[in-house]
Structure 1
Amino acid sequence: MVNTKKKQKPVSLSHGRPPAANKPKASLSSKATRNLIQSHHRLHKVLADATRQGDEQTASAIRQQIEEKGGLKSYQQASIQGQSGDRGGDTSRILLDWLPKDLPKGHTIRMLEVGALSVNNACSKSDVFDVTRIDLNSQAAGIEQQDFMERPVPEINADKFDIISLSLVLNYVPEALGRGEMLRRTCQFLRALPVLGFGESATEYFPSLFLVLPAPCVMNSRYLDETLLNQIMVTLGYTMVKKKLSTKLVYYLWRYQGKGSEKRHKFRKDEVHPGKTRNNFCIILE
């Protein structure tokens, strides 16, 4: 359990979701893809805990288990296939459907896509976004190799972004405290005001955060529900603009107001929905 009394540096994202890789020719079934991702996610969470505590014996044993399951290569294959078009995994299509149709063309709107796996998703193919893509270990041209938590904060408004995409990224951060810090950090990368020329309809949508999570993270957790998530986001300065719930995922578009709650709330690991069938997904915000 996280000790919220002391300031802790969140574990690097490299201990959470493993990096992307080029898609192998072999294809996994949907069930095999899902099981492999869940297994690696659990193991990497334990590995992150052991690494943080300096328990090298446990960390070494977990690394061996990961390799026995195919290592990062098998995880990467499952991750990329799970987000491929034939699996319905391009979440950016939802974002494009939400946005007004009269947005300016010519790659005017600056997007930062964290955890990018492809340069060919719907947002990249549109004529709307100027996309900066980053991932922990990019192996594709057009995706910068970088940890978002270590990316330098832009010093001037012109270098910031109109929208940040965190699609299936926050759930791979291994620590609840790290998830809160990631959400807080997004505020530093968004413009204070939209760029002139967007049109009046765009002011409802930008600057913003596109957040996608597995539905159980919000709908079936002991420590988080949508009411609590909304309170966290409002504290940071966000307000919900759009939401879509599918059988597997929940999509949000949060507009950044530029100023959070006047009262600084703390969100700890408090049980809000007891139950043996619920998961332990949690966001801690100090």
Structure 2
Amino acid sequence: MAPKGKNKKLKSLSHGRPPTAKPSRAISSKASRTLIRSHHALEKSKAQALAEGNAVLATSLQHQIDAQGGLERYQRASLQGQSHERGGDSSKILMEWLQPLVPALKNHAANDMSLRLLEIGALSVSNACSRSKLFDIERIDLKSQAEGIKQQDFMERPLPKDGSEQFDILSLSLVLNFVPDAAGKGKMLLRTLEFLKEPKYLEDHGEFLPALFLVLPASCVTNSRYMDEAKLEAIMESIGYVNTRKKLSNKLVYYLWRMASSVSRPATSFKKAEVRSGKDRNNFAIVLK
């Protein structure tokens, strides 16, 4: 549970990810969605109150979070929402997309040259990527819930000193939407570039790698006031990414973005500007300055 008072981590991720252990009591699909939306809204309001120095309002909002079960109940609802029955392991999609590379990946693995994968916001050590045994995987999460997952905030992770500390693939599955403010989301996307290897390496994998695997709730691009697919693609291209694969389901949208070039700052600024009107829209946004 987030402490009361000012918290510098509010500019990155506002809380941990769901635990890997199965919850003992299931709640309905509708109830879990309602709880998750309410928790996100309260956390976002609390972050804004803290940023404005309004400790009284932040305390009141924390009481509301506690009253509905706090982080523990939210985690149970989130885990249930990501169970096999409701969507399952997102890394299965990544493995499907990388299928053309599997022969080469097996050869690399056999020669102790496995591609390096950084899984940000890791939930499990036994997902599809892990079971493939084709990658050298490092897993991090704000609140580690399993052995093999390092407790670390990606926004505070030391920058790589050289290529040996960089990765071929970064997985950012249902993480970006946890960042409480639009500017923080932009900073996170920019920071991913620092952790990917130079685009010129491994020419036989050039169509796919180095890459960012990005998964978001579908509503972030289909029902946001401030974001649609065209704007997301413009943002990603401005920082050096090219989209190579995309899949939209009822609940999630999956992308594989290849890093074509590494930039220190975006070529264009993107503000929190309305792209859709309507009272039932959500407020997902990414700001780049």
* Fold-level similarity (TM above 0.5): yes
Match of 1:221 in 2: 224
Match of 2:281 in 1: 278
- Give the counterpart letter for 1:29 in structure 2: S
> 1:222·1:271 contact (CA, 8 Å) conserved in 2?
yes
Return the offset for 1:159. 1.0
> 1:164·1:186 contact (CA, 8 Å) conserved in 2?
yes
Question: Separation in 2 of the partners of 1:244 and 1:271?
Answer: 24
Over 3 Å counting, the alpha-carbon distance change for 1:34 and 1:49 in structure 2 is same
Return the offset for 1:277. 2.1
Return the offset for 1:260. 4.5
Q: Structure 1, residues 130-175: CA drift from partner, whole Å, max 9, x if none?
A: 1111111112101100110000010101210001111111111000
Match of 2:5 in 1: none
- Give the counterpart letter for 2:18 in structure 1: A
> 1:243·1:251 contact (CA, 8 Å) conserved in 2?
yes
> 1:234·1:260 contact (CA, 8 Å) conserved in 2?
no
Question: Separation in 2 of the partners of 1:249 and 1:90?
Answer: 12
> 1:134·1:144 contact (CA, 8 Å) conserved in 2?
yes
> 1:20·1:135 contact (CA, 8 Å) conserved in 2?
no
Question: Separation in 2 of the partners of 1:92 and 1:260?
Answer: 27
Pairing of 1:43-192 with structure 2 (within 5 A): 43-99=42-98, 100=100, 101-105=102-106, 106=109, 108-192=114-198
Q: Which runs of 5+ in 1 are unaligned?
A: 1-8
- Give the counterpart letter for 1:18 in structure 2: G
Question: Separation in 2 of the partners of 1:212 and 1:262?
Answer: 23
RMSD across aligned C-alpha pairs, in angstroms?
2.0
Quick one: which of 237, 241, 244 aligns to 1:241? 244
Match of 1:3 in 2: none
TM-score by length of 2: 0.89
Question: Separation in 1 of the partners of 2:23 and 2:168?
Answer: 34
> 2:241·2:259 contact (CA, 8 Å) conserved in 1?
yes
> 1:104·1:128 contact (CA, 8 Å) conserved in 2?
yes
Number of aligned residue pairs: 274
Task: Check if 1:255 corresponds to 2:258.
Answer: yes
Q: Which runs of 5+ in 2 are unaligned?
A: 1-7
Over 3 Å counting, the alpha-carbon distance change for 1:10 and 1:257 in structure 2 is farther
Return the offset for 1:32. 2.0
Match of 2:209 in 1: 206
* Local SS of the residue matching 2:136: strand
> 1:17·1:41 contact (CA, 8 Å) conserved in 2?
no
> 2:122·2:141 contact (CA, 8 Å) conserved in 1?
yes
- Give the counterpart letter for 1:81 in structure 2: Q
Q: Structure 1, residues 152-203: CA drift from partner, whole Å, max 9, x if none?
A: 010101210001111111111000000000000000000014754xx72x22
Return the offset for 1:10. 8.0
* Local SS of the residue matching 2:22: coil
- Give the counterpart letter for 1:283 in structure 2: I
Over 3 Å counting, the alpha-carbon distance change for 1:237 and 1:164 in structure 2 is same
Question: Separation in 1 of the partners of 2:262 and 2:146?
Answer: 36
> 2:239·2:266 contact (CA, 8 Å) conserved in 1?
no
Return the offset for 1:86. 3.0
Return the offset for 1:34. 1.6
Question: Separation in 2 of the partners of 1:156 and 1:135?
Answer: 23
Match of 1:5 in 2: none
> 2:218·2:248 contact (CA, 8 Å) conserved in 1?
yes
Range moving further from structure 2, 96-105 or 219-228: 96-105
Match of 1:230 in 2: 233
* Local SS of the residue matching 1:11: helix
Over 3 Å counting, the alpha-carbon distance change for 1:261 and 1:44 in structure 2 is closer
Identical pairs, percent: 53
TM-score by length of 1: 0.90
Over 3 Å counting, the alpha-carbon distance change for 1:263 and 1:36 in structure 2 is closer
Return the offset for 1:54. 1.4
> 1:20·1:138 contact (CA, 8 Å) conserved in 2?
no
Runs of 4+ with >6 A deviation? none
Over 3 Å counting, the alpha-carbon distance change for 1:96 and 1:54 in structure 2 is same
> 1:215·1:248 contact (CA, 8 Å) conserved in 2?
yes
Range moving further from structure 2, 69-78 or 94-103: 94-103
